[in-house]
Amino acid sequence: METNIEFSPIVREGERIDEIGFGGYKLIQKPEEFCYGVDSVLLSDFAASRMKEGADLVIDLGSGTGVIPLILCHKTKASQIWGVEIQESSLERAARSARLNDVSDRVSFILGDVKDVKTTWGRDFKGRAGAVVSNPPYFKAGGAIRSWQGAKAAARHETTAGLEDFMECAAYLLRDKGDLFMVHRPARLVDICCFGRAAGLELKELIFVSPSKDAAANILLLHMVKGGGSELKILPPLAVYSDRGEYTEELLKAYERSK
C-alpha cells in the first residue's frame, strides 16, 4: 500500500491519502485512530465473489475507514452501498473518501449504532438488503488487554454493541435468503454460530485464514444466510504469507495484484 500525501482541503491535520488500488481508489486515513488491514480486503473479496445477482442494496456494519464499501463499489454492481458507523469522525472521513473517488452516487454513510437499527436509522432498510458485510470488533469488552484508547479501542473491542447485536441487526436488514459476510476470530466461532442461529442466520461457508500455511488460523471468513439450511461447507484454508514471506497468490488476487 503506497501513501501519497496531498495538500488538499479534503485532507485534514493528522490524515493521509492512501492509494489502495481497486481501480485507482484512494482512501483517507488517520493513523493515530485506525487504518484498515488485510482482514477488510479478504472480507471484501470473499463477499464480492459470492453476492447473488440482484443484490443491489448492500450494508456494511461498523464501516470504520469506509474501505469495504469502496472495494465493493469496485468489485460488484450493487447500486446502493451503505456504511453504518458509530464514530462520527470515522464516518465523516469515510464520506470524504467517497467524494474523493467520485462514487457518492453509489456509496453513502450513516451515523448509527447497530443496537438502534429497529428504532432509528434502520427502519427504512428493514428486510431490503441483499447482502450485509461486517468486520466488527473482535474482542469482548474486558476480554483482552486494552492497550488502545479512543477510536482504536472502539474498532477492536465491543465497547458499545456486541456480537449478538451485530447478528440481530444483520438479520433485521436482510431480505429472506439474504447473505451476511463477516470476518472474525476463531475464538468467537461458537458465539457466531449460536447468536447467528438465534437471529435466523445459518452458517453456510467457512474459511480458516492463517498467517502462513503451518500456522494456526487467526482469522475466519464466514458466509451466513437468513433462513438458510443447516448444511455447512468448510472451504480450503487460506494462508496470508508464503514460505518466502511474501503474499500468497490468493492474497495477491484479493488485492488484484496477481503476478
pLDDT in tens, 226-249: 999 999 999 999 999 999 999 999
Cell numbers describing residue 253: 488476487
Q: Which helix (H) or strand (E) holds 19?
A: strand 16-21
How many C-beta atoms surround the C-beta of residue 177 within 10 A? 11
Is pLDDT of 161 > 90? no
- Residue 210: strand pairing partners: 239
Is pLDDT of 199 > 60? yes
Contact present, 81 and 108 (Cβ < 8 Å): yes
CATH code for residues 36-254: 3.40.50.150
Calculate the CA 105 to chain-centre distance.
Answer: 20
232 φ/ψ angles, rounded to the nearest 5 degrees: -120, 135
Max distance between CA atoms of the chain, in angstroms, equals: 53
CA-based nearest residue to 122, from 68, 67, 169, 184: 169
Task: Classify residue 64 as left (phi > 0), alpha (psi -120 to 50) or beta.
Answer: left
Lowest-confidence region among 52-66, 127-141, 152-166, 169-183: 152-166
Give start and end residues of each alpha helix (H) in 138-248: 150-156, 163-173, 189-199
What is the pTM (predicted TM-score) of this model? 0.90
Separation CA 181–CA 177 (nearest Å): 13
Amino acid found at 190: V
* 66 CB-contact burial (10 Å; exposed 0-12 / middle 13-18 / buried 19+): buried
Lowest-confidence region among 67-71, 151-155, 251-255: 151-155
Per-residue pLDDT reduced to its tens digit, 168-182: 999 999 999 999 999
Is pLDDT of 4 > 60? no
Name the residue with cell 438488503. 129
C-alpha R_g of the chain:
17
Separation CA 66–CA 146 (nearest Å): 24
CA-based nearest residue to 222, from 212, 232, 210: 232
Task: Classify residue 186 as left (phi > 0), alpha (psi -120 to 50) or beta.
Answer: alpha
- Residue 25: strand pairing partners: 21
Residues 6+ apart with CB under 8 A from 57: 78, 79, 80, 82, 125, 128, 129, 130, 131
Could you list the beta-strand ranges (E) of 113-237.
129-134, 174-184, 201-212, 219-226, 233-234
How many C-beta atoms surround the C-beta of residue 104 within 10 A? 14
CA triplet 241, 243, 246: central angle to 5 degrees? 45
152 φ/ψ angles, rounded to the nearest 5 degrees: -65, -40
pLDDT value of residue 191:
97
